[in-house]
Chain A
Amino acid sequence: MSVQTILITLFALLIFSFFIGRKRSIAVSTPVGKTGGRRNLHSRPHYYGYMVAIWAGIPALLILALWTSFNSSIISSLTVSGLSDSLQSQSKDAIGLMMNEVKNLAESGNIAAESDPVLRNAASHYQRLQGISTLAKTVIVLVVSLLGMLIGWRLISPKMRARNKVETVVRWAMILCSSIAILATVGIVFSVLFESVHFFKAVPPSDFLFGTTWSPQTALREDQVGSSGSFGAIPLFVGTLLISAIALIIAVPLGLMSAIYLSEYAGKRFRSVAKPVLEILAGIPTVVYGFFAALTVAPFIRHWGEAIGLSVASESALAAGLVMGIMIIPFVSSLSDDVLSAVPQSMRDASYGMGATKSETIRQVIIPAALPGIVGGVLLAASRAIGETMIVVMAAGLSAKLTINPLEAVTTVTVQIVTILTGDQEFDSPKTLAAFALALGLFVITLLLNYVALHIIRKYREQYE
């Protein structure tokens, strides 16, 4: 049976186990010829059902998972060991290549069409092993499941604490889920870290961290001349910070003010319409913002700049930052609005009762109490701004110029990651690996940002009950 069929069968078994478990718990607790046995049970009957299902499911699923994950490597090595000694003594890569051919052949289902007898033999060997494995897997998994069901079924007695057992399993399931999330994060971080280490073997970290020119063109062939590449990341990080700063300068005041208006001044009706409308801003695809920035805002800024005698590039950090600022308003406003509204009425009453005006109350009581949430919203907006790519590509350009003049074209870290990885490149050339180093840099910046924000919150937070 295929894995899917096994899973479906197992699922059916689980449902069956649940029902027999539940039924038996009632049966064993009811004295012959009487009714109302449920009162003698430690747990309610469905917990016994769950328990039997757990016994039938978890061991079998574990075996299935292990088997499936090790299946192919074991079968491959068995196939390889069936080859002649001379073939086995080839290099690893050669064996790997050959095994790929063997697998493809076995799966194509047309082994006889192959002309090479060695491959033909290996492929049929492989196919045979695969068949045995699948059969054994099916049988073992189903037998284990049935055995589990039997054990669970036998365990049922009125005193048995099925409820607590189920609770324990649920707890472990929760722990498992959270560890998966954590492991995924750790995994990503480490893979970025390892690739960055590779990069730093080719390019000294000081060049990367303090260099002020970014032109990642390296030689495609060894003998090519003239392009050794230069990996100074400063212009990119400065560009990123410049555009994010512009975006935040727009988004934080606008977002916070609209949040305050919505939560403190606006009527219920207005709020129920305005809030979702504001949130739509975050749902518009960034590419739409991108061409809005490039086609509407950038020319406008140019005209306006030239009118007062400034030279403005046709692509500018200001255009990208402005539009990005509009895009991230809802991150600030929506979260802030929620936390502002969550400040208890009793705080407002206390303040009004002392003769404070509305704006005094907002400034001195409500905002301090809501500060952690507000900082959270700003952080979210900041991470969004730092990570934004599309708007920058379209409105701020690709030129890695080191400048803090918002009227010039700049580029950002994420944009460079994209351009690096979308070209035709060897995977382990410094140019490609630079993407990982840049990603690591972004990661560190975001981490620092979070750390600082956490401190701000700790220092200034006013916690209400």
Chain B
Amino acid sequence: MTELKPDIEKRSEFDIEINGTVGKPFVDNPKMSSRNCDVFYGDKQAIFDVNLDIANNEIIAMIGPSGCGKSTYLRVLNRMNDTIPICKVTGEHTLDGEDIYGKKQDPVLLRARVGMVFQKPNPFPKSIYDNVAYGARLHGLASNRSELDDVVESSLIKAGLFKEVKDDLNKPGTGLSGGQQQRLCIARAIAVDPEVILMDEPTSALDPIATALIEELMDELKENYTIAIVTHSMQQAARVSQRTAYFHLGKLVEVNETDKVFTNPEHQLTENYITGRFG
């Protein structure tokens, strides 16, 4: 088939070599870092030798074609892959210099420090209040009802949702609109007071207005949190992030300042992707 009808773009994509990561994958004093990261689903390798640092209080965007392993890599950072029995992660991964896959590390506590927001808004079928209070209750962050009230209120305020829902805290979170639900999920993640927030295509199920609200929100959140966001939208990556990482077939091809990635990419594959030649 390929012989009969050569697909130039496809062929060039596979012919271009990926020899390590170009650009600036490393920073001084990183919040999180990965070295020699491989991930396998059963026999199938999904991530190949990824080395990356994430700086304090930055927003790093992860882009790349579908199936290139962005979600898989993101889930390495809070050990969500542990919940998939066939998934195996290798390499060294640290948070503030601590080995997060070490024997002493409790994955459950790690996830309280590295929160996650998912692609599809997934509020619990509980009240708005209980959704936000969920993590705080789990980790005993409030010792009485009024402290809990404060946690809920401040998290909702930080997520930019408080004004809209302050009279409906007892209504089910699933009754909100998609954009509100996603902000509720962000509030829920913030309520545990994490240090890093991982977002896996948080706006791909939302309309442009809800998306804009969440992008604004991310800008505010970066004052207090470090954010890694996977996104399908290059515009979004360009708007919200300081650095951008380009993944291709499980490999980390290029990491650079976002401006540079979108105006003057170093790697041919990155250029192909951002100019829309595949993806």
Contacts and interface: CB of A to CB of B under 8 A. Distances in A.
Interface of A: 267, 344, 346-357, 360, 364-365, 368-369, 462-465
Contacts of A346: 118, 120, 122
A350 B138 contact: no
B51 interface: no
Given A355-B139, A360-B138, A462-B126, A350 B108 contact: no
A350 B111 contact: no
Contact of B185 (A267, A350, A356, A369): A350
B138 A369 contact: no
B125 interface: yes
Contacts of B172: 462-463
Contact of B118 (A353, A357, A369, A465): A353
A347 B124 contact: yes
Given A355-B139, A464-B174, A350 B112 contact: no
A353 B111 contact: yes
A354 to B, nearest CB: 4
B211 to A, nearest CB: 20
29 contacts: A344-B122, A346-B118, A347-B122, A349-B80, A349-B118, A350-B118, A350-B122, A350-B188, A351-B124, A352-B80, A352-B111, A353-B189, A354-B112, A354-B134, A354-B138, A354-B189, A355-B109, A355-B111, A355-B112, A355-B135, A355-B139, A356-B138, A360-B138, A368-B125, A368-B126, A369-B125, A462-B172, A464-B125, A464-B174
Contacts of B85: 267
Contact of A355 (B122, B126, B192): B192
Given A347-B122, A464-B125, 15 more contacts: A344-B122, A352-B111, A353-B80, A353-B111, A353-B189, A354-B112, A354-B134, A355-B112, A355-B139, A356-B138, A364-B134, A368-B125, A462-B126, A462-B172, A465-B174
Contact of A354 (B115, B120, B125, B126): B115
Contacts of A349: 80, 83, 116, 118, 122
Contacts of B120: 346
Interface in B102-152: 108-112, 115-116, 118, 120, 122-126, 134-135, 138-139
A18 to B, nearest CB: 46
B125 A462 contact: yes
Nearest to B181: A465
B78 interface: yes
Interface residues of B, number: 28
B138 to A, nearest CB: 5
A344 to B, nearest CB: 8
Interface string B157-179: 00000000000000010100000
Nearest to B121: A346
Nearest to B124: A365
Given A353-B115, A368-B126, A348 B83 contact: yes
A462 B124 contact: yes
A267 B185 CA distance: 30
Contacts of B125: 347, 368-369, 462-464
Nearest to B174: A465
Contacts of A364: 134
Contacts of A348: 83
B125 to A, nearest CB: 4
B189 to A, nearest CB: 7
Nearest to A343: B125
Contacts of A347: 122, 124-125
Nearest to A369: B125
Interface string B68-91: 000000000010100101000000
Contacts of B189: 353-354
B71 to A, nearest CB: 11
B174 A463 contact: yes
B80 A357 contact: no
A464 B123 CA distance: 9
A349 B188 CA distance: 13
A348 B111 CA distance: 13
